[in-house]
Structure formats: C-alpha cells, structure tokens
A and B are shown apart, each in its own frame.
Chain A
Amino acid sequence: MEILALNPPGSEKDIEAINARLETLDPDAAKSVETCYQCGKCTAGCPAADQMEFPPNQIIRLVQIGQVNVALKSVGIWRCVSCETCSTRCPQKVNIAGVMNTLRLMARERGIQPADREADMFHQAFLQNVRMFGRLFEPMLVGIYNMRSMHLFHDADKGPLLLSKGKLPLFPTSSDSARVRRLFKKALESK
C-alpha cells in the first residue's frame, strides 16, 4: 500500500481552491473541509458507498491531509450520484456532494482520466441529452449510454414495464430548450 505524505508541497493551493468553490456553491455550508470531524455519517447514508474504494468520508479525509491527487484518481468521485444525502445529513454542515463535484471538475481540468470510464460516459451522455432537449429524454440517454459503453442490451428487459407505466416517453416532451442551451453556454464561458 502506498505510503501517503501529509500535506505534500503545493497541496495547500488545492485545499484553498476546493474551499473557495464550496463557498460559491453554498454560502451557508461549512467554509472549509477542515470542519469535517470524520464522524462517517456521509458514508453511512451514501447509496453508492459500497461501489467506492474511498467512500465519501475518506474522500474528504484525503482532501484534509492534502492528498487531493489521490482523490482525483479515485473511482469514488465518479460513482457519486449527487443525491446530496451526505450534505443534507452532515452534522458539521460540510457540503460533501459539492466537494465530489469540485473534484470531478478538477480531474477534468487537469486531464486526469476518470477512474470509472463508464460512469463518465453516463455523465457525458446525460449532459448531452439535457443540452439537446432542455430536459431529460430517457430512451435516448439509455440508447447512447448503452452504445458507448458497449452494453447494448443492458437493462433492456426493464423497457416494457417502464413503457406500460408511462415512465418511458416515446417522444421528447417540449421544453424551453433554447434557454437551457444558453445556460450551458454561459456556464462554459465562465470557466
């Protein structure tokens, strides 16, 4: 097992960057990841924790000791489903989901290959879908994800039931897709 150094050189900047973004995401949340006292409640409530080699509390711990690089290479940040159960329940008001989100962004900016490629494909397909229709059009999301990930008939057996319950629309419902596109544009410009 790799021996980790505590706060290796340059790590302070990483921590500062994460703290700064937390502040913009939610000014009411804790100002810094140091606020976390490692009670583990985030991991206890995380629906995807069993799929992560570093569950949410350990991702936060990695950031606390300046080992952001290890966090960026972990599959955990990609398997986070952004349900925000962790942030909602945190006794110290740490925005854990916000940290996960920030780490994904940092990984992308630094050109670090996502540790879970399929999770990344899903993210990409999801965003593409929303950008195109202004809201989610499930059949197309499933189609594109299954094609890209080469799991062509993955979960196909669930289709009929979903269709019969009206959960799988045949056509995209209209939405103000132009406005959503503007939002995407603005967000990308601000980067």
Chain B
Amino acid sequence: MARIGVFVCHCGENIARTVNCAKVAEEAAKMPGVVYALDYKYMCSDPGQEIILKAIKEHRLTSVVVAACSPHMHEKTFRGTASRGGLNPYMCEQANIREHCSWVHESIPEGTDKAIDIVRTLVAKVMRDQPLDVIKVPVTKRCMVIGGGIAGIQAALDVAAAGYEVVLVERQASIGGHMSQLSETFPTLDCSQCILTPRMVEVAQHPKIKLYTFSEVEAVSGYVGNFKVKIRRKARYVKEEVCIRCGLCTQKCPAKKIPNEFNCGLDNRTAIHVPFPQAVPNIPRIDRENCTWFQKGKCGVCKKICPVNAVDYEMEDKIVEEDIGAIVVATGYELYDIAGNDPNGLYSGYGEYGKGKYADVIDGLQFERLASASGPTGGEIRRPSDGKEPKTIAFLACIGSRDNQKGISFCSNICCMYLAKHAMLYEHKVHGGKGYIFYMDIRSGGKSYDEFVRRAVEEDHVCYVRGRVSKVYKRGDKIVLRGTDTLLGRPIELEADMVVLATAVTPSPGVEKLAQMLGIPYDKYKFLSEAHPKLRPVETVTAGIYLAGCCQGPKDIPLTVAQASGAASKVLALLSRSELEREPTVAKVDETTCVACWCCYEVCPYNAIEKKEIRDRKGNLIKMVANVNRGLCQGCGLCAATCRSGSIDLAGFNDEQLMAEIEALAQVR
C-alpha cells in the first residue's frame, strides 16, 4: 500500500501570495494514500530538503509529491532528495502550483482550489508510479568530423589534442575549404594560406587523425556514443600509398583546358590534377568527366609517365565502415549563384547585374583569387576580359542577401568586412585606383572590425556609397552602374572597369541529405539548426551530433574557429565518459499485441523505432514487431499516442497513470 508524503512549497511569496498553502497541505492529507502533508517556505532550500528526508524516514513514505515550481526548475533537485532518502528517484513527482497556478491567478480562493486539484492529480499518478532505473549506454571513444574546412580542421585538432581518435571526412580532394582560397583575412590582413596550411599539415600528420579526402558519408545509423558510419571513398585513380608526388603526370596531361575550380574558373587546369599547390594530401586525382582516357579510351599519358606506377584506371569507389561516438558537422558554405537558379527553386538569380554576361563582373571568391599571391595573376589585380589593370572597381554588397525578392531574407554576415578588405587590398595594389562600395548598412560588429572599415575609408580612400545599384550595362569597355546615393537623395552613375558582387552565403549543396541521414533539423535555407540559439549553440537536438561553422549560418573565420572549439569541447565532455546515463522514461512495445502497422515507425522523430523479427526455434519468421532503441528514444510519446493497438507505453507516463490523473481532475469537489 502506498504511503505518500505531500510537501507544499510557498516559494517565498511566489506561491503563497495567491495560494493558501496550509489549506492545500490540510486537504492533501485527506487524499487517499497520503499519510503525511506539510507546507514550508522554501522546499528547495537545505532545511526544506531535510524536512522531506526526515519525513521519508519517520513516516516510512513510499512516494513523494512536491507541490512547488515547474519540474523544469527543480525535478532533479527533489528526485535527488528522494534518492538520498532511500526511494527510487522516479517515485517522486512534482506538482506545478507556481507557473500553472499562482502566477496565473489573482485571488486566493481560486488559486487554492486549483492548487488542490493539481496536487490531487499528482497524488493519483504517484500512487501508480513504478521504480525505474536509468539506462546506461557505452561510448565509443572516437569522433567523426564531416567537412575539412577551417571549422572541421579546428574541431579535429582540438579533439585529437585531447588524445581521442578523429575521423575527418572531406568531400573534396584536399582539406582546407574556402579559407584556402582567400588572399588576406580581415581585420589584420594576415595571409590566409600562411595561417591555414600549417594546420592542414598538422591534420595530415597527426597520429590520432584518420583523414578521408575525396570521400562522402554514405549512411549513419546508431545513436549517441554508438554511431555506425559508412563512408564512400571515391576513386581518385591514383594510388595514395604509392604516389611520390613528383607532379610529372599533371605536367604532361594533354587535357589542359578545363576550368580550374580552385581559382573559380579564372584559369585552367589539367584532367589529372592537384587542386592547389599546398593541397593536403598533395596527391593528384583524375577528373573522369574531362579525361581523354575515360571519355575516348585513348591517351594514357599519365599512366605511362608515372615513375612508380601509381595511376590505376581500374580503381573503384570503396566503402569503409567506422564506429563513432560523436559527430561534428562542419560542411561549410557555397556562394549563391547570381546568374543561375537554385535547383530547388529556393532562390532566383539576378538579371540586372550582368554576371555571366560580362566577364568583368565577378564574385567575392573570384576577387580573392585575383588578389591572392597563389592565384592566376600572381596577386596582381587584372580584369578577366582583357587582363588590363582596372582603374575603378565597384564593389556591390548584399547581392542576394537581404533581398526577399530573390528569396533570401538573411544577412550574410561576412560581406561588409570582406568588401572593405577587398577595396583596401585593391587600393594597396593599384596606385591611383579608386574603389567604390555600394552598401545598405555597414555591419562591422566584431572586435576591431569597425576600425578596419574606417581605415579603408579614411586612410585608403575607399568611397562608400549608400544605396543599391539598380542596373549594370556596358559603355565601350567600361561598365556603367546606375544607382542612388540615399544620403543625398540623388540618382548617381559610375563608370567602372570591373564589378565585384558580394553574393550571399548559402549552405553547401546536398547538406539536407546529410541532415536527414543524421536526423538533425534545418531551416528553410537549409542551414542546420542548433538546439538553442543562445544556450546550446553548437549542439543539435540529436544527442551526440554537434555543429561548427557556416553549416549553421554565415560566419567569419574567428567565429567559425570559436564555434569549432566549442563543438570540440562538447565532444570531449561526451567521449571522456565511460558510459552515458539516459532518462528511463522511454517507450516500450508490448510484442504480444503489436501488429507491425509501423505507424510508430513513421511518426518517430528520432529514428528510435526499429523493425524486429521474431523467429521460432527453427529460425522461421513468426512475426515482425516494433522495437524501441532505448539509446535513441527521447520519450516524446508520439508513438504511444499513435499506436492503434495500444501496444506502446511510455515508462513513467503510462496509460494507467495518465487516466488516473484525468479521473482525479474530474472528481466533483
């Protein structure tokens, strides 16, 4: 027979102002099963908890109801108290008479009546509580980082530095990401490659980091601490372990007219190529679509010339499997394609800015390549059409960003700063050149950022013009921009030699497929969603999966690195534990009544429902049933509510308990 203790908290004045707590305790004492009831000023305080402990002992209580604030606030506290008193912590329930009662009512009689009702429901529930044990799951002490840009590199190095193994998966043939394409970085103007390449090399040489480049995550199963990941290692057609990186193949390859992706199409590369000289790993790969051997069956120059016979035309994609405990997603960004249209119809392109029509209208990344010492012009600013040095460049901010007409309402965060940097670099490199920046607002909130922008204006004489450009057209070999100076309220016109568009930052293509594989949500632009915008910025709602960098939203390098280190610290907190404890309030399937309709399988947001076979002794299949993976289940109860045959119950919230609560509420006072 249950012996229930009810403890009513005043929460100072918070509850006592509108609830007569003594009356609530008095009424509670009369409820069936209650052997002891008491009110006290602060139940969560040390003396308050002592009262509960003492009562458990003296009155041999089997279960406890604490009528106080929300369980969000103090369920852990009071369950801890019950546990110290020798009770199973799940035999303690909290009745919320603050948020649900005293804070929303004004008069004492009203508040008191409702508080009594709330206590009655919880007494009815606690009477049917069963002791529950926490679920313990083991942890595989390895981390996978998806994406080898600066975010992925930072996260991988941080986790590896703590001594845990890291598997770094990169889709491209080299790690480094977009940061390796940048010339200088704001606000200090230090060379991007100079600060990045040592880190890339460190990743490659780190004994704890396993690097899979030119590879993609194919499938992910399992749950926090126990993921199983399949990785597709795409064929490079060059044996990584044999190649001595002599570079002969890339020199001799006759297919030389292929647009170079690393230089954003500003120059050409060969079919067998290394993405860029500082690539890690520095191993060539054959671009099948453009290779004469693969397309026409002739040539084979690279195979003939290779001194170590590393070229292998027969190579095939390989699938490798890895056991992983935690995952960091760092898939980065791509620039919005102004001329084209988003394949999913999310964004639409611009007709008015001439990108794709005029060779001298380029985007921000192309300008980075022009300004980079390792770029196609060796760092000299030359316009793509005729190689002349541009005497005037117009930089246009917010192309795509903050343009609802084009389907993007967000600010891309980095453009204000990189345009200031571009214009500054241009003024440094071209004497007598004049840079104009057409902007709507200058967003320079970072440390030393606004000073950087003012330096561009005051020391390097960059001319800022507030207002969007409306159209761009040719006049001779000049590009004419028609815009407005909203500070003057006058239309203006500028003849420029070159135009740089700061196009919007959008998530990497295909990231939604990965997100679906991992079971993590994303927003309408396909940026991955963090668990809480302020307090859990690197976690996802799926335990064991973390975010770093631009996959979560547009970010500059300092923010990306900070977030990557944040994600790494979360990974380390997880990997440093030998086993994980999880709430036992999870779903359970009654296999005798389950009819395998899979409604639960369809509704489960956490992929926690598995299809289980039941076989007889001879191995014949008797039936299929749903089975709950206790590691993945978050106890949301969707399956229990959906189950047609009533075969699923949620521990701690089973049908009997909930019906008892409703009956208690429905009692006539």
Q: How far is the CB of B440 from chain A (nearest CB, A)?
A: 13
Chain B residue with Cβ nearest A57:
B487
Question: In the complex, what residues of A have CB within 8 A of residue B485's CB?
Answer: 4, 61, 65
Closest chain-A Cβ to B196's Cβ sits at a distance in Å of 33
Set of chain A residues within 8 Å of B488, measured between Cβ atoms: 4, 54, 58, 61-62, 65
A6 CB contact (under 8 Å) in B457, B466, B487, B493: B493
Q: How far is the CB of A18 from chain B (nearest CB, A)?
A: 14
When distances are taken between beta carbons in the complex, the residues of chain B under 8 Å from A6 are 436, 463, 465, 492-494
Q: Which of A31-39, A139-147, A153-161, A182-190 contacts B (4 or more CB under 8 A)?
A: A31-39
Indicate if A5 sits at the interface (CB-CB under 8 A).
Answer: yes
A32 to B458, CA, bound (A): 8
- List 6 contacting pairs A-B, 8 Å CB cutoff, sorted by A: A2-B490, A3-B492, A4-B488, A4-B491, A5-B492, A35-B458
Cβ of A64 within 8 Å of any chain B Cβ, yes or no, is yes
Q: Is the CB of B463 within 8 A of A64?
A: yes
Q: Mark B474-491, 1 if CB is under 8 A from A, else 0.
A: 000000001001011111
Residue on B nearest A59 in the bound complex, by CB: B488
B residues less than 8 Å from A37 (CB atoms): 454, 457
Choose among A1, A57, A61 the residue with the greatest number of B CB atoms under 10 Å from its CB.
A61
With known contacts A6-B465, A38-B466, A1–B458 Cβ distance under 8 A = no
Residues on A with C-beta less than 8 A from B461 are 34
Q: Is the CB of A7 within 8 A of B434?
A: yes
Asked if A5 contacts B434 (CB within 8 A), the reply is: no
Q: Are B491 and A3 in contact (CB under 8 A)?
A: yes
A5 to B436, CA, bound (A): 12
Chain B residue contacts of A7, Cβ below 8 A = 434, 463
Cβ of A32: which chain B residues have Cβ within 8 Å of it? Answer: 458
CA distance A103 to B492 in the complex (A): 22
Expressed in whole angstroms, the Cα–Cα distance for A57 and B466 within the complex equals 14
By a CB distance below 8 angstroms, the chain B residues around A34 are 457-458, 461, 463
Main secondary structure of the interface of B (DSSP, over half): strand
**Closest chain A residue to B450 by CB distance?**
A37
Are A65 and B458 neighbours in the complex by a CB distance under 8 Å? no
How many interface residues does B have (CB within 8 Å)?
A: 20
Q: Are A5 and B494 in contact (CB under 8 A)?
A: yes
Q: How far is B427's CA from A34's CA once the two chains are assembled, in angstroms?
A: 15
Docked pose: A5 CA to B475 CA in angstroms: 14
| Closest chain B residue to A64, Cβ basis | B463
**Binary B-proximity of A12-29 (CB < 8 A = 1, otherwise 0):** 000000000000000000
From B436, B458, B488, B492, name the one whose CB has the most chain A CB atoms within 10 angstroms. B488
Nearest-neighbour CB distance to chain B for A99, whole angstroms, equals: 15
Select A3's contact among B454, B487, B493, beta carbons within 8 Å. Answer: B493
Digitize A53-81: 1 where CB-to-B-CB distance is under 8 Å, 0 elsewhere.
01001100110110000000000000000
Output the nearest chain B residue to A5 by Cβ-Cβ distance: B493
> Distance (Å) between the CB of A53 and the closest chain B CB?
10
| Least CB separation from B434: chain A residue | A7
A11 to chain B, nearest CB (A): 11
Closest to A40 in B: B487
In chain B, positions 367-409 with a C-beta closer than 8 Å to chain A are: none
- The chain B residue sitting closest to A32, CB to CB, is B458
Which of A2, A5, A34, A62 gathers most chain B CB within 10 Å?
A: A34
- If the complex has contacts A32-B458, A34-B461, are A4 and B487 also in contact, measured as CB distance less than 8 A? no
In the complex, which residues of chain A have a beta carbon less than 8 angstroms from the beta carbon of B458? 32, 34-35
CB distance from B126 to the nearest CB of A (A): 64
B490 touches A4 (CB 8 A): yes
CB-CB under 8 A from B436, the residues of chain A are 6
| Per-residue A-contact encoding for B122-156, CB less than 8 Å = 1, 0 else | 00000000000000000000000000000000000
Q: Which of B425-473 contact A (CB under 8 A)?
A: 434, 436, 454, 457-458, 461, 463, 465-466
**A118 CA to B642 CA in the complex, in Å?**
86
Hey, which chain A residues are within 8 Å of B489, CB to CB?
58
Residues of chain B lying within 8 A (CB to CB) of residue A54 = 488
A57 to chain B, nearest CB (A): 7
Q: In the assembled complex, how far is the CB of residue A89 from the closest CB belonging to chain B, in whole angstroms?
A: 18
Please indicate the chain A residues that have their CB under 8 angstroms from the CB of B495 in the complex. Answer: 5
| Top 7 A-B pairs, shortest CB-CB distance | A6-B494, A3-B491, A4-B492, A61-B487, A38-B487, A61-B488, A3-B493
B482 / chain A contacts, CB cutoff of 8 Å: 3
Residues of the A chain whose Cβ atoms lie less than 8 Å from the Cβ of B490:
1-4
Question: Whole-angstrom distance between the alpha carbons of A58 and B490 in the complex?
Answer: 10
Chain B residues whose CB sits within 8 angstroms of the CB of A5 once the complex forms: 492-495
Measured in the bound complex, the distance between the Cα atoms of B484 and A2 in whole Å is: 11
Q: In the complex, what residue of chain A is closest to B453 when comparing beta carbons?
A: A37
Using Cβ atoms and an 8 Å threshold, which residues of chain B touch A61? 485, 487-488
**CB proximity of B461 to chain A, nearest CB, Å:** 6
How far in angstroms is the closest Cβ of chain B from A28? 16
Which of the residues B454, B457, B463 comes within 8 Å of A65, measured between beta carbons?
A: B463
- With A3-B482, A6-B463 known, 8 other A-B pairs at CB within 8 A are A3-B492, A5-B494, A6-B492, A6-B493, A6-B494, A35-B457, A64-B463, A65-B492
Cα of A37 to Cα of B442 in the assembled complex, Å: 11
| Structural contact, B491 and A1, CB atoms closer than 8 A | yes
Q: How far is the CA of A62 from the CA of B454 in the complex (A)?
A: 19
B457's closest neighbor in chain A, by CB? A34
CB distance from A36 to the nearest CB of B (A): 9
Contact of A4 among B434, B454, B466, B493 (CB under 8 A): B493
Complexed CA–CA distance, A64 and B461 (Å): 10
Q: Which residues of A95-126 are within 8 A (CB) of B? A: none
B609 to A: closest C-beta gap in Å: 59
B354 CB to nearest chain A CB (Å): 18
Q: How far is the CA of A7 from the CA of B461 in the complex (A)?
A: 12
> Nearest Cβ in chain B — how far from A76, in angstroms?
12
Chain B residues contacting A35 (CB-CB under 8 Å) are 457-458
Instruction: Using CB atoms, name the residue of chain A closest to B482.
Output: A3
B67 vs chain A, min Cβ distance (A): 57
Which residues of chain A are near B457, meaning CB under 8 Å? 34-35, 37
In the bound complex, CA of A38 to CA of B457 (Å)? 12
Which of A2, A5, A6: most chain B Cβ within 10 A?
A6
The smallest C-beta distance from B456 to any residue of chain A, in angstroms, reads: 10
C-alpha spacing A37/B491, complex, angstroms: 20
Please report the C-alpha to C-alpha distance between residue A38 and residue B465 in the assembled complex, in whole angstroms.
11
For A64, list chain B residues within 8 Å (CB). 463
**Alpha-carbon distance A7/B485, docked complex (angstroms):** 13
Complex CA gap A6/B493 in Å reads: 6
CA A37 to CA B462, docked complex, whole Å: 12
CA separation between A1 and B488, bound complex, in Å?
12
Please, how many angstroms separate the alpha-carbon atoms of A4 and B488 in the complex? 10
Closest-CB distance, A60 to chain B (whole angstroms) = 9
Which residues of A lie under 8 Å from residue B434 when comparing CB positions? 7
B465: which A residues are within 8 A, CB to CB?
6, 65
Q: In the bound complex, how far is the Cα of B491 from the Cα of A134, in angstroms? A: 47
- By a CB distance below 8 angstroms, the chain B residues around A2 are 490
Give bound CA distance, A20 to B605, whole Å: 69
Q: Which residues of B contact A58 (CB under 8 A)?
A: 487-489
In angstroms, Cα B465 to Cα A7, docked, is 12
In the complex formed, the residue of B with least CB distance to A2 is B490
Smallest beta-carbon distance A65→chain B, Å: 7
In the complex, which residues of chain A have a beta carbon less than 8 angstroms from the beta carbon of B494?
5-6
A24 to B465, CA, bound (A): 28
B483 and chain A: residue at smallest CB distance? A6
Shortest CB–CB separation between residue B610 and chain A, in angstroms? 61
State how many angstroms separate the Cβ of A158 from the closest Cβ of chain B. 37
